[in-house]
Amino acid sequence: MTDDKKTGTPKDTHYAKLRRAHRDLKAAAPVQRTRPAIPAGEGPGDGLVRLYGLHTVRAALDNPRRKIRSMLATRNALERLGIGDPAALPFQAKIVEPKEIDRITGSEAVHQGVLVEAEPLRPKPLAALGDTPLVVVLDQVTDPHNVGAVLRSAVAFGAGALITTSRHSPHESGVLAKAASGALEHIDLIEVKNLAAALEELHAAGFQTLGLDSDGPAELEQSFSGERVALVLGAEGKGLRQKTRETVTTLARLDMPGAIRSLNVSNAAAVALYAARRWLAAR
C-alpha cells in the first residue's frame, strides 16, 4: 500500500479538493434546459398547424382555402417551389438553413427544406357532401400516417370526400399532411359525431356502404351495386366496429390467395378504391 492511500498525502488531498470543487461548481451552475423540438404532428400552440415537405407546401400554396401565416425555407427549396422573391409572398417568409427547420420538426421529419404555419382546414358537415359517386369512410382509424396515405389514394382515384368521426380520429397535422403528399388540399374532409347515423344518411343519399372485412361473405369485386359507393374501412387489428358492421349495406373481403392474408388499412383502401372506380366507370 502506498503512502498516498495510507496517510492521505498531498496527492490524495489534491484529488479530494478537485472533487469538492466539481460538486460545488455543479451545484452553483444554472441548469441548462434544451428546448425540445416540437413533434411534427403538433402545432405551435396557437391553433395553427405546421406543414412541411415540397409537395405538401406546394399544394397548400395553391389552395385558395388555405390561410398561410408564415414560411421557413431554404434557398434550394424556394427554387424548387418556383418562388423567386419570398418578399412578394402575402405572408412572412424567411430564408433559413435546414437545421433551423430541424429544430422545429425534429431531425426525423423529411421537411425537404420548407415549413409553413397555417390555419387548419375546417372539416365540413355531412350535409355539405356534393354529388360525388365515391367517398371513403374511416371507422376510428387513428394513425395519422395511415389516414394521410388513405387521403392520397382517395384523391388519386377521384373520391370526393373522406368521412371520419370527430372522436378517435387524428386531427390535421404535419405528419398527416406529409403522408398525404398534398392530397389534403384536394378533397373534402367531413366529420360526423355518430358513424352509424352518418351511414344511414349515406343510404338515404343513394350510396351503397361497403365495409371491408377479412371475413366478408363475398369478394369485393362481386359486391358492388348501384351508382354511388362509400367504402368503409376500420382500424388495423380491430377492424370495423360491431355497430358499423351491422349498419353497412354490404360486407366484403379482398381476395388474397397469398401467404399473407391482410393488408395495411391504407393499402387496402387503395385496392378497394381501384376496384370501386372500375365499377363506377363501367356504369
Q: What is the pLDDT of residues 243-254, one digit of tens each?
A: 999 999 999 999
Residue 167 DSSP label: S
Whether 273 and 221 map to the same domain: the answer is yes
The radius of gyration computed from the CA coordinates of the chain, to the nearest angstrom, equals 27
pLDDT tens digits for range 219-235: 999 999 999 999 999 99
Domain housing 264: 126-281
Distance separating alpha carbons of residues 254 and 243, to the nearest angstrom: 21
Does residue 4 lie in a domain region?
Answer: no
> Model confidence over 116-137: pLDDT tens digits?
999 999 999 999 999 999 999 9
Which domain-ending residue is among 63, 93, 118? 118
User: Considering the domain boundaries, does residue 206 fall inside one?
Assistant: yes
Note whether 238 and 149 are same-domain residues: yes
Report the CATH number at residue 103: 3.30.1330.30
Work out the percent of the chain whose per-residue pLDDT is above 90.
75
> Beta 250-253 vs 218-219: how paired, if at all?
parallel
Q: For residue 2, is it within any domain?
A: no
pTM of the model: 0.81
**Distance of alpha carbon 161 from alpha carbon 188, whole angstroms:** 5
